[in-house]
Structure 1
Amino acid sequence: MSRRTVLLSVTAAVAVLGGAGTFALAYAGEQPPTLEHSTARYTAPLGDRDGSLVFTTDATASSGVTDVKVLAWPADSSFAEKDLTVKEMAAAEPATCEPSGGDTVRCTYTVAVTGADAAESPRGLWHVAVLARAGDGSTTLDTKATRFTVG
């Protein structure tokens, strides 16, 4: 092979690889938010003292996380037959999010559970649905991010 052929081959390879790398970086920037380390802790009310539901998750998006919505739902509800939608989750309650490094925020949702709430709530397995929205408008919906039991 001549030097000219080798030089042209190397130049073409660099151009192709460089273009693929640029595409990969652009594509990575358009990824929807990710949710990790989702946990729920349910504490039943006791006597005249309220209980609580505390949900936490780490949300990450390269364009920033603009909001996180949370909805707890009983496993034997209509949502088990027909999954929640982004539109339905838009009306859910917001979590409070604080930066936790890089493009990640730690989001917490806390709600008090009164004795009356607990008496009216179905017993058994519950799921927590989470909708995360990024600054670029992309969303991630996890209808079963975590679960807890109401006893």
Structure 2
Amino acid sequence: MSRRIALSVAAGVVLLGGAGAFALAHAGEQPPVLADSTARYSAPEGDRDGSLTFVTDVTASSGIKSVKVLAWPQDSSFAEKGLTKKDMAAVEPAVCEPSGEDTARCTYTVAVTASDAASSPRGAWHVAVLATAGNGTTTLDTEAAGFTVG
């Protein structure tokens, strides 16, 4: 009888150990998390360029491989069909600096010239972000932040 109990206990330990290994492996595959995303737009004034600055905190236990950013007007084809990871493939990257154990603060800044502003649609705009972790998992937030072009 004691041998049967010992085998049951051993089987239970192996089963729990396997479940723990699965949980750890699964935890390592979590996609990046975005937090505290903000966008600040300033229009050009006189002969001075304006700018768009987007900042977000990205957390990924396997590290951050890349963060890509795209500003898009609310009244565009993206609003109708939705943005995809494929749409984000060729957009510009943000610059990321470590800001915690598994977190980086990522900043994207672009100058806005008077001609850029004149040809840009007026109204609400959104900032889309595609974050890729070191393990290859991704997070796409098509409306991470917003701003208005007046």
Match of 2:111 in 1: 112
2-structure distance, mates of 1:135, 1:62: 8
Once residues 32 and 79 of structure 1 are traced to their aligned partners in structure 2, the CA distance between those partners, rounded to angstroms, is 23
TM-superposition CA deviations, 1:81-116 (whole Å, max 9, x none):
111111220100111011111121111000111111
Tell me which residue corresponds to 2:15.
16
In structure 2, the residue matched to 1:39 is: 38
Q: Secondary structure at the match of 1:93?
A: coil
RMSD: 1.7
Percent identity, please. 73
What amino acid maps onto 1:71 in structure 2? L
1:86 is aligned to 85
Deviation per CA, 1:60-95: give whole Å up to 9, x if none.
222211111100000010000111111220100111
TM-score of the superposition, structure 2-length normalised?
Answer: 0.90
The equivalent residue for 1:49 is 48
Structure 1 stretches lacking a partner, 5+ long = none
- What is residue 102 of structure 1 aligned with on the other side? 101
CA distance in 2, matches of 1:11, 1:42: 62
Give the match for residue 122 of structure 1. 121
Q: CA deviation at 1:14?
A: 4.0
Any idea what SS the aligned residue of 1:23 has? helix
Whichever residue aligns with residue 121 of structure 2, its letter is P
One-letter identity of the residue aligned with 2:23: A
User: Aligned equivalents of 2:64 and 2:115: distance in 1?
Assistant: 35
Instruction: Count the aligned residue pairs.
Output: 150
Matches within 5 A, 1:56-67: 56-67=55-66
TM-score by length of 1: 0.89
Give the Cα–Cα distance (whole angstroms) in 2 for the partners of residues 125 and 10 of structure 1. Answer: 62
Which amino acid in the other structure matches residue 149 of structure 2? V
Give structure 2 stretches of 5+ with no counterpart.
none
